[in-house]
Each structure stands twice: as C-alpha cells, then as structure tokens.
A and B are shown apart, each in its own frame.
Chain A
Amino acid sequence: MVNVLLIHPDDTVAVALRDLATGEAVSAADSQVADVMTSEPVPFGHKVAVHGIAAGEQVRKYGAGIGVATRNIAPGEHVHTHNLASVRGAVQR
C-alpha cells in the first residue's frame, strides 16, 4: 500500500500521505522506494528520508535542494527542523 509521495525521482526525501508509525515499510508509487523502514513516527505531510543523507549535504525534494542536513540522516528518519536547515534563511551573526 502506497504511503508516501516521492515528488521527483532524484529526491532524497518523500512526503508521508498519512501519519506513519515507527517500523512501517515506506512505499511509494511504482516501487520507487525499496527497503526503507520508518525509524520514528512521521506525521502526514512531513518528510521521511528515503536515502542516507550526510551532514552538510543538500536534502532534495521537488528535484531541488531544500536546505542542508545538520547531521547525518539515515533512511527512514523523519526530516524536519531538527536535522534540516535553510541555507537561505539563516543570518550570520
């Protein structure tokens, strides 16, 4: 049963189509995502990593960068403000 949307084939995160619990197999249309299990709950509309993303690497959604990983992210992790930061909206102090 499809439970995430992978917007672009190059994306490293997918969007949860419903609230996902810990330990659910992540499934996108046309089997675009394989062997990824949620390691924590991911609310509806939020992002789940479908690839490993290294700290400092751009996180990709819509086929484009949406900011950098602030720490290493494993497949199946919830991706949000705790591990992803804008490169455009932060002010150098």
Chain B
Amino acid sequence: MNPATFMGYRRADGAVGVRNLVAIIPTCGCALRAAQLIAAQVEGAVLLDYNGGCGETEADIAVATRLLAQYGRHPNVIGSVVVSLGCETLDAHDLSARIATGVAPTELLVIQQLGGTRKTVARGVEIARRMAAAARELQREPCPLSGLTVALECGGSDATSGMASNPAMGAFSDLMVAAGARVILAETSELLGAEHVLTSRAATPEIARELLAVIDACERFLKATGEDFINKQPSPGNIRGGITTVEEKALGDVLKGGATPIVDVLKDGQPPTLPGLSFMDTPGNDLSSVTGLVAAGSQLVVFTTGRGNPMGNAIAPVIKVTGNAHTYQRMQEDMDLDASPIISGAETVAQVGQRMFDLALRVIAGETTAAEEMQQHQFMMLRQGPVY
C-alpha cells in the first residue's frame, strides 16, 4: 500500500473517519443522566460528558453549542442523538440543526416532551442501536493521509518529556507533515518562555506576531487571577518530576512540534485548513485542550506523558507515549509506546519517532489504543464565565 494512504472510512462529504461512533449529546447537565444511560446500553455509542447548558454567559453557551455541533459533525461520528431537557438556555433545536448540516444522521429527544427519563432512554437506545448497526456495514478503504488531522498533546510531564517523548513526537510530527497531514500543536500556557523557539519556526512574520499575541494574552489573563503560576504551570507532579518553572516546561513542551514551519495560528476548536503544522490556542489543561483539538476535526491524538496519564477522548483515539521507563513499567496498561530507549541510548529520537508514526498508521486503521480499551471517553468543555 502507498505509505501516504491508510485504511479509513470515506464519508459522503469527502472527510475521512478512523472510527464509527454514535455520539450521545446532552444539551445540559439535567439531561446528562439520560444520555449516560443511552450510551451505556449501545455498543459503539459514546457519551459527550457535557454538564453546562444553563445559567451560563452567552459566550460560554455559544462556545458549547459550536463545540457540540463540531463533535456531531466530526468524521469519526456516524450519527448522533441529542438529548435535551426542554427548558435549558442552550438551544437544542439550533444545535440539532447545526449537526444536521453534516452528512451523519442526528435525532433530537426532549425529556420534558417524551414524558421522562425512562421513555427518553428507551427511544434513544432504539435510535442509537439503529445508527450503530448501519455503521457496522461500512467498509474501510484506502484514504489519503492528507485527509488526516493529528493533534499533539502532552500531560503529566516530567523531565523525561523534554528529553525523550517530546523530541520523538517532534520527529513524528515532521513525518506526518511530510505525508501531507495537518498537525496541531497547542497548549498556550505551557509555552511561556519558549517564544523564541516558536517564532523562529513561524512561516511568516505575521504568524510570528500572532504567536506572540496569543501567548501574551494568555499570560495577562492568567496573571489577572492574582495567583502565581506555581502548582498550576508547572503542576505539583511536574515539579516532583524535576520541572521547576513554566519556562523549563515550555522549552521541553515546544519540542513536540518538530522542525517544520508553523503555517497557521488557530482559535480553540478552529479547524485547520492548511496542510502542515498549525498552532491552536488551547489551555494547558489536558482534557479541555484535547476536547478543543478534536472539535477542530482531529481524528487522532498523540499524547506524551512522564508521570503517566490514562486519559482519552470521547470520539478520537489517543495514543499514549512515555519517555519514563518507570512509568512505562508501572502503568503499561495505560501506555501505547515506550520512548525511554532514547534516554538509555538504545534508540535514537528518529527511530522512536518512526515507531510512533508506524503505530499511528495502525491505530487510524483500527488498532485500539490503551485509552480505548479502558473506554476513557473524556470530554471537558472550556467555561470562561460565571454560572448564574
């Protein structure tokens, strides 16, 4: 097979999926239990664990609506059931209509209209089972890697992240870019102190200015809380792992992006349009950052960790990589790739980057990740404003 292709699912709109999932989407925390019960009873269904939707700012509701719609239209999702209570602030009909602009079927259930939780769950299970059954008929076919968006994330970092797993991810990113994929580097608050590295990689002076602007805005936003960054960036676990300051964390973190130019700067959840490496302005919080990266259309996430992190995502496989040999041994059930041979000298950064690329090709063709085995279906909505 041509190395620039992989066995994926070609959608009617030309997008490429790597999984066939039915998304169960609550529109508010009060509908969450019904949505959970539907997802739990249907093979191939996943819950979007959203608990907002009411008494929030218009801006937060707008972000949630856009992001939930992006999940409903994501190429890994072959159908969705929107579960509404009926009196929430978030407009479930608007959300449903936005999802319906995509190629996957979607249905809206309103608990107050259907007469309660049990009736809603029974109806939702029936619909989701029908969607999942139709998905099992779909066949994988050769798809171009240029149809792939790959998100790069790191979490629970320690000193080995900057020595092994992140440099290897950089080599992996370069291979993906060379194969024509879109790759996204993110986590703005983890880049304070690495600006000179990022700007030296910017494809144009304008992109360099945009990179500096988002990092500056992030720093001012965080400082406005009046709290020191310590124990947030870096976290207590980062510190126990040998990382002292946010600058040190940033210099290890930025290695994830490899050596190719940064071609675009994206807002949280904004789909990249250009092939190559883009930067997305997301928080350093892993669940929230990955949620936004996947909203942007990433079909695959690769995640480096030092301390060990089991997390996944509701609709995208997450490959877990550690450069810490102790972590790999202790938490092997949650890890997919051991990058520690770079530290022992048994393998080079390029060799581990190639192994990561080969593993990624298997995962997008259907091999399950450790996080998928454990059904680590994390989803975390960014909320900026107060709750009324």
Contact = CB atoms under 8 A, between A and B. Distances in A.
Instruction: Bin the interface of chain A by size.
Output: 20 to 34
A42 B247 CA distance: 21
Interface string B306-324: 1000000000000000001
A61 B345 CA distance: 20
A88 B193 contact: yes
- For A45, A66, A80, the residue with the greatest tally of chain B CB atoms inside 10 Å of its CB is A45
Interface string B70-90: 000000000000000000000
A85 interface: yes
A79 B244 contact: yes
18 contacts: A5-B343, A45-B242, A46-B159, A62-B251, A64-B247, A65-B247, A66-B245, A66-B251, A67-B247, A81-B230, A88-B193, A88-B246, A88-B247, A89-B228, A90-B230, A91-B226, A91-B228, A93-B226
A55 interface: no
B343 to A, nearest CB: 7
Given A62-B251, A62-B252, A88 B244 contact: no
Contacts, number: 88
Nearest to B239: A81
Given A64-B193, A66-B193, A87 B159 contact: no
Interface of B: 158-160, 162-163, 192-194, 196-197, 219, 223, 226-230, 233, 239, 241-242, 244-248, 251-252, 306, 324, 343
A49 B192 CA distance: 23
A46 B194 CA distance: 20
Contacts of A7: 162-163
Nearest to A83: B244
B246 A45 contact: no
Contacts of A15: 159, 163, 242
Contact of B244 (A44, A65, A67, A93): A67
A16 to B, nearest CB: 8
A90 B251 CA distance: 18
Contact of B242 (A47, A88, A90, A91): A47
A45 B159 contact: yes
Contacts of B193: 64-66, 86, 88
Given A62-B251, A81-B239, A88 B245 contact: yes
Interface in A64-87: 64-67, 79-81, 84-87
Contact of B158 (A45, A65, A67, A84): A45
A3 B160 CA distance: 14
Contacts of B248: 61-62, 66-67
A7 B242 CA distance: 15
Contacts of B229: 86, 88-90
A86 B241 CA distance: 17
Nearest to A80: B244
Nearest to B241: A45
B160 A91 contact: no
Contacts of B324: 45
Contacts of B230: 81, 86, 89-90
B245 A84 contact: yes
